[in-house]
């Protein structure tokens, strides 16, 4: 197989893992503090990372990579998890799925800045149109006004895009699974004391469904999905493979309806479909 198809396969596996993140987060924050969910998921995932690094006997990365790891951590360990967990207290997962549809465009912009990629003009045209649809959806579903939780989601998009691009640059030098593992390990000395300081929940009072959501975002969203995602981005190109996240709104909306019994309006599918069509056309024509 050529590199691009292999990258797309890994990328799709990453998207598949990410697609349940918002519904699982909704389950978790129904009973757990959103800050605990946002930070705790990385702490729990760090346990898997330490075990994998130990088994594979990986040497410490060179000190020159530490600033890049810090940028990755600020995006995918702190920014995206905390902002999405907070927003899921106020917005349906299906709504968040469409707003997160801005990620492909934001990731492409980050790819130009951090990785020197140059998508075609048609790519930018259709990506821009897709972004306008996302903003229009957020406005229409909020009765003409953006909810402040939408601001958190937009911030999460920017944070994730930067983390994706910088993590991909590192992946080409260190390997995809090594990047997410070391990012989690390097973040642990900050996250664990902070989590304890902010206070731990009453574990016995939390229902199994909330813990299941928390475990999913910890072990799948924060660990396994990132291994596949960084592999796909580094193999097939950040901007190109990043567009596979256009499938994510559909998968997330379906999961939210199935798992959370969220009502899904027909207009949600129209907006999500419009976003997907715009960037898919940008890829095909470009």
Mean per-residue pLDDT for 203-229?
93
- Flag whether pLDDT at 16 surpasses 80: yes
Per-residue model confidence (pLDDT) at position 144: 54
pLDDT in tens, 140-183: 765 456 677 888 888 999 999 999 999 988 988 998 899 999 99
- Give start and end residues of each alpha helix (H) in the chain: 3-18, 21-29, 34-56, 66-72, 80-87, 93-99, 103-115, 121-141, 148-174, 176-198, 208-215, 225-236, 238-242, 248-259, 266-285
Residue 1 has pLDDT above 60, yes or no: no
Domain chopping of the chain, boundaries: 3-285
**Residue 194 half-sphere exposure, CB side, CA atoms within 13 Å?**
14
- Rounded Cα gap, residues 286 and 270, in angstroms: 24
**How high is the pLDDT of residue 3?**
47
pLDDT band at 236 (very low <50, low <70, confident <90, very high): confident
The predicted model gives 199-215 an average pLDDT of: 90
Helix ranges, 142-243 (H): 148-174, 176-198, 208-215, 225-236, 238-242
Interatomic CA distance for residues 23 and 2, integer angstroms: 34
User: How large is the average pLDDT for residues 40-65?
Assistant: 94
According to the per-residue pLDDT averaged within each range, which of 134-143, 162-171, 214-223, 238-247 is highest? 214-223
Would the pLDDT of 28 be above 50? yes
Q: What is the pTM of this model?
A: 0.85
Q: What distances in angstroms separate CA 241 from CA 14, 55, 149, 164, 202, one per listed residue?
A: 10, 30, 28, 11, 41
> Does residue 81 register a pLDDT over 70?
yes
Given a cut of 60, whether residue 4 has pLDDT beyond it is no
């Amino acid at each position: 197989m050529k590199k691009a198809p292999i990258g797309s396969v890994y990328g799709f596996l990453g998207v598949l893992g990410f697609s349940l993140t918002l519904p699982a987060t909704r389950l978790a924050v129904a009973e757990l503090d959103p800050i605990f969910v946002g930070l705790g998921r990385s702490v729990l995932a760090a346990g898997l990372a330490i075990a994998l690094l130990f088994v594979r006997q990986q040497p410490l990365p060179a000190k020159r990579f530490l600033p890049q790891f810090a940028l990755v951590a600020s995006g995918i360990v702190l920014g995206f998890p905390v902002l999405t967990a907070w927003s899921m207290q106020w917005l349906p997962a299906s709504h968040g799925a469409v707003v997160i549809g801005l990620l492909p465009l934001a990731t492409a912009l980050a790819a130009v800045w951090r990785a020197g990629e140059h998508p075609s003009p048609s790519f930018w045209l259709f990506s821009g149109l897709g972004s306008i649809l996302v903003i229009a959806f957020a406005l229409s579903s909020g009765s003409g006004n953006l909810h402040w939780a939408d601001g958190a989601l937009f911030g999460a998009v920017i944070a994730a895009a930067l983390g994706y691009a910088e993590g991909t640059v590192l992946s080409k030098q260190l390997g995809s699974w090594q990047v997410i593992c070391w990012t989690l390990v390097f973040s642990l000395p900050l996250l664990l004391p902070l989590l304890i300081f902010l206070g731990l929940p009453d574990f016995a009072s939390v229902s199994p469904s909330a813990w299941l959501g928390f475990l999913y975002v910890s072990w799948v969203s924060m660990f396994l999905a990132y291994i596949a995602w960084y592999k796909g981005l580094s193999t097939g190109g950040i901007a190109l493979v990043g567009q596979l996240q256009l499938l994510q709104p559909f998968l997330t909306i379906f999961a939210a309806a199935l798992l959370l019994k969220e009502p899904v309006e027909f207009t949600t599918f129209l907006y999500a479909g419009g976003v997907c069509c715009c960037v898919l056309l940008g890829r095909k024509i470009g």
